[in-house]
Amino acid sequence: MPATLPSQKRRIFDSPIKQNKTPPQRKRIPKWVDVDDEDERIGQRKRQNGSLKHAPQAHSTPPRKKARTSGPPLPSPAKAGIQEHRKQLPIAKGKDALVQEIRENDVTVLLGETGSGKTTQVPQYLLEAGFADSGMIGVTQPRKVAATELAARVSVEQGTPLGGLVGYGIRFDERSGPTTRVKYMTDGMLTRELLGDPLLSKYAVIIVDEAHERTLRTDLLLANLKRILRERNGKGNGKPQVNGKGKEREKERNPLKVVIMSATLDAEKFSQFFSNAKIIYVKGRQHPVKIFHAAQGQTDYVDAALRTFFQIHVDQPPGDVLIFLPGQEDIESLEKAIQLFAHQLPTGHDEVLTVPMYAALSGAQLHRTFAPTPRKTRKCILATNIAETSITIPGVRYVIDTGKVKEKRYLAGSTGGGFDTLLTRDINKSNAMQRAGRAGREGPGFCYRLYTEDAFLGMAASTEPEILRCSLAQAMLQLLCIGQDIQELDLMDMPDVDAISSALRTLFLLGALDSHRELTDLGRAMAALPLEPTHARAVLASKDLACTAEVLDIVSVLSANGALFLDATDKRAEIAEARRKFVHRAGDHLTILNTVRAYRAAGGADGENANGHVNGHDGEEEKVGRSARKEWARAHFVNERTLREASSIRDQLRLSCTRAGIDWRASCGEQEDPVLLSLAHGLAQNMALITPDGSFKQIMGQSVVKIHPSSSMADKKVPAIIYDELVYTNQIYARGVSSIQKSFFSSLGAFNRREA
Ligand code: CDP
Ligand code: MG
């Protein structure tokens, strides 16, 4: 165990010039370079309005005994104060004017700093002004956690139970009902609704929030909103659309209001897109954030974050710390390191409570982030960029920004062998500003950037729209189902032709399109399942192969966010031994199936009855079952959260199957081939054959791939494999790998179609 505290080790800010002047232990925090001009930019709007000077805030943070800053003391979270809090938000002053503008214009672009009250207040203003009388108010978010948290918050502000007046909808989880008037949802959910309701006629208002993030779904939504406006309001401009014929009668009856909300300064572009829509600016209430840059670049950002955290913890007054890291792996390793060192702190220091925060965590788990920090404790939130916008984490006063983010990027191969890559890369200026801003939500804060000021200045201004860097297959399938061709859509940015042809080819190989690029019945059936096309195809194939029960078990786990298997470098042997019983020799997919089955069996009986419901007739028995399953998962280093999430996904998929006329009870028992063959139908593009040197060569592409070390197939030499995805690090790895028989090829339509 390391004996010295990281904060006593070399500090980040020790630039080559300053290095030897002071012994490291004695250095206080600002070995960072101060950046006053930017400090100014972030802090300049600090309490522009005198009346906001001591604005009470209805946070759920308990008042702290000791004043945390030189600023105003933190207020108490009195419930009655919530209405007062609403009135004090910067946006409240402009409420009437804002409502008036939205009333007068079809499209309004609302630009405002984070914390001004856009996301929580605007829907309520519109609700209270009667906009929801003729339809719902839909608010889209790029992230699930934001949709659920915001719905919860706004329900509290409205004093109604969640899922009543205010609800949410995210994939595989819906909390809304007949009385719901304000619905927070992911942009993906709303684009999905277009399938059944191309005019989104249920909605009177659509608020596209965090539009600056320019997710693929947001872009598709914006293009469709433009069309819907024309059809429902009889206005707007842009190219004529293919569908919508015969819908003319629905015009005028139910006009739509669109509000585009964004936190950064790119409002112009949205305004231009919507025929120079009106832009409204709301001032924020951001406290000053003092920014420090590392004096020199850091090669190991996890270690740098660790040392910086302890410098803050040991030297600085109370206040929670939010650390931005690129992904789950870094979060887990830093969390472990922080816990390890925190235990070695001499007495007298506050406790350290670490809270991880990344998209793969379940809702309940993410909820911990928002819980009040216990007394004499410093909370340290380790987050990906999911904490960058949209949500408010109370208590945070220090931000450590590693300057890294994981970005998904699709590499479209001209031969159709494209793949998604998830690479850690540098953030852009807009990310950096947002991250720093998180420290100034409740009072003056501090942001430690683990990169130099020059690095900051050299960053790109903002993120490239996702539509320019992602696989388009699923999106194009959905568009085709509503009669839209992506190339004819009026998009803010047109995707690359290579990416479009790569997606067309994928859809063709999956049988979703025929050789005339027309949608097939199979394609329609695929789009009806809330799954990626590859998984949807596998489920549909399982119908003919009578193994839907097994395929749903596997696909549910693959659709869950979290990893199924926990990993700990120091326990590799122990883990391998624990899992030996259910690791399947055919590879990862059947290993998943075995795991799901073993977990279920661990709950007693079979864990489930024939209807798929967990045995619930005896409360006591059920409780015993639950704790047995939990214990089983722990003993086998299996992530129970993922299994629980998968189980709820599976319940949803069973409903979808029933609707689609697929018998989800159909099971092939212990047979392997039907299951693997079903999966292979979906993964036809993800197949590779062994080469003499033990690596694999794609069948429908040119890449040479290796099996990822985390796979149960790692180092195995089998003739042919299918895989879930390719990841590119220093070389191309296949992840989620199963061994298949070469004879499968002849039964796969894709191979016949390939020649077409
Ligand atoms: O969307 P915008 O960033 O403009 O602000 P918002 O999300 O509507 O939040 C406005 C304010 O409400 C925040 O600054 C917090 O003070 C408060 N809030 C909160 O305390 N808890 C939440 N879950 C959401 C908002
Ligand atoms: Mg917001």
> What would the two tokens of residue 142 be?
């790029």
Q: How far is CA 739 from the centre of its chain?
A: 31
Beta bridge partners of residue 423, listed in sequence order: 407
Cα–Cα distance for residue pair 756/750, rounded to 1 Å = 10
Q: pLDDT digit string (tens) for 10-29? A: 555 432 222 223 333 333 32
Element (H, E) at 196: helix 187-196
Chain position carrying tokens 């950037």: 449
> What would the two tokens of residue 442 be?
């409740």
Q: Identify the burial level of 724 via C-beta atoms within 10 angstroms of its C-beta, where 0-12 means exposed, 13-18 middle and 19 or more buried.
A: buried
**Among 207, 84, 55, residue whose Cα is nearest residue 146:** 207
Q: Which atom of ligand 1 is nearest to the CA of 149?
A: 23
Main-chain phi, psi angles of 140, to 5 degrees: -95, 150
Chain position carrying tokens 């005028």: 252
Provide the pLDDT for residue 518: 93
Beta strands in 342-444 (DSSP E): 351-357, 377-383, 396-401, 404-411, 419-426
Is residue 44 scored above 70 in pLDDT? no
Q: What mean pLDDT is predicted for residues 79-96?
A: 87
User: Which pTM was predicted?
Assistant: 0.77
**Among 216, 214, 225, 191, residue whose Cα is nearest residue 267:** 214
Q: What mean pLDDT is predicted for residues 243-268?
A: 70
Q: How far is CA 540 from the centre of its chain?
A: 27
What percent of the chain clears pLDDT 90, i.e. is strictly above it? 57
CB atoms within 10 A of CB 248: 10
Residue 57 and residue 85 in contact, taking contact as beta carbons nearer than 8 Å: yes
> What would the two tokens of residue 448 be?
């430690």
Q: Which atom of ligand 1 is nearest to the CA of 389?
A: 3
Class of domain 6-16+287-463: alpha beta
The complex's ipTM?
A: 0.98
Residues with CB under 5 A from ligand 2 (ion): 118-119
Q: pLDDT digit string (tens) for 294-324? A: 999 998 999 999 999 999 999 999 999 999 9
Chain position carrying tokens 């911990």: 368
Is residue 659 scored above 80 in pLDDT? yes
Provide the pLDDT for residue 724: 92
Q: pLDDT digit string (tens) for 374-384? A: 999 999 999 99
Residues 6+ apart with CB under 8 A from 531: 539, 555, 559, 653
Residue 53 DSSP code: T
Sheet holding 377-383, edge to edge: 33-34, 289-293, 445-449, 396-401, 320-324, 377-383, 351-357
- From the CA of 157, the nearest ligand is 1
The amino acid sitting at 542 is S
The amino acid sitting at 99 is V
Choice from 45, 125, 157, 392 to test ligand 1 binding pocket (greatest atom count within 8 A of CB): 392
Provide the pLDDT for residue 250: 43
Give the distance (Å) from ligand 2 centre to CA of residue 390: 4
Provide the pLDDT for residue 522: 96
Is residue 415 scored above 90 in pLDDT? no
Q: What mean pLDDT is predicted for residues 221-225?
A: 97
Instruction: Please report which confidence band the pLDDT of residue 572 belongs to, taking 50, 70 and 90 as the band edges.
Output: confident
Please indicate whether residue 391 or residue 61 has the higher confidence score (pLDDT).
Answer: 391
Instruction: Please report which confidence band the pLDDT of residue 432 belongs to, taking 50, 70 and 90 as the band edges.
Output: very high
> What would the two tokens of residue 28 be?
């206080």
Q: pLDDT digit string (tens) for 93-124? A: 899 999 999 999 999 999 987 778 999 999 99
At residue 752's C-alpha, the angle toward residues 748 and 753, to 5°, is 105
Instruction: Please report which confidence band the pLDDT of residue 40 belongs to, taking 50, 70 and 90 as the band edges.
Output: very low
Residues 6+ apart with CB under 8 A from 56: 75, 81, 84, 85, 88
Beta strands in 313-413 (DSSP E): 320-324, 351-357, 377-383, 396-401, 404-411
Residue 612 DSSP code: S
> What would the two tokens of residue 58 be?
């209805």
> What would the two tokens of residue 298 be?
């850091």
Q: Identify the burial level of 251 via C-beta atoms within 10 angstroms of its C-beta, where 0-12 means exposed, 13-18 middle and 19 or more buried.
A: middle
Q: Which atom of ligand 1 is nearest to the CA of 152?
A: 23
Element (H, E) at 107: strand 107-112
Return mean pLDDT, the chain.
Answer: 82
238: left (phi over 0), alpha (psi -120 to 50) or beta: left
Of the given ranges (347-351, 454-458, 484-488, 623-627), which has the lowest mean pLDDT? 623-627
Task: List b or e across 189-203, with b for residues whose CB sees 16 or more CB atoms inside 10 angstroms.
Answer: bbbbbbeeebbbeeb
Give the distance (Å) from ligand 1 centre to CA of residue 102: 21
Class of domain 91-282: alpha beta
pLDDT winner (highest mean) among 247-256, 361-370, 728-737: 728-737
Beta bridge partners of residue 136, listed in sequence order: 203
Residue 344 DSSP code: T
Beta strands in 562-608 (DSSP E): none
Is residue 1 scored above 80 in pLDDT? no
Beta bridge partners of residue 405, listed in sequence order: 425
Residue 425 and residue 327 in contact, taking contact as beta carbons nearer than 8 Å: no
Give the distance (Å) from ligand 2 centre to CA of residue 184: 12
Query: Where do runs of H (alpha helix) occur along 28-71?
Result: 36-43
Instruction: Please report which confidence band the pLDDT of residue 348 belongs to, taking 50, 70 and 90 as the band edges.
Output: confident
Q: Is 587 helix (H, G, I), strand (E, B) or coil?
A: strand
CB atoms within 10 A of CB 487: 11
Q: Sketch the domain layout of the chain as residue ranges.
A: 6-16+287-463, 91-282, 474-519, 528-670, 683-756
Look at ligand 1, atom 3, and give the residue with the nearest C-alpha: 114
Please indicate whether residue 363 or residue 305 has the higher confidence score (pLDDT).
Answer: 305
Same CATH topology for 6-16+287-463 and 91-282: the answer is yes
Please indicate whether residue 548 or residue 415 has the higher confidence score (pLDDT).
Answer: 548
Is residue 413 scored above 70 in pLDDT? no
Provide the pLDDT for residue 412: 66
Give the distance (Å) from ligand 1 centre to CA of residue 148: 14
Look at ligand 1, atom 23, and give the residue with the nearest C-alpha: 153
Provide the pLDDT for residue 702: 83
Q: pLDDT digit string (tens) for 465-523? A: 999 988 899 999 999 998 999 999 999 999 989 889 989 999 999 999 999 999 999 99
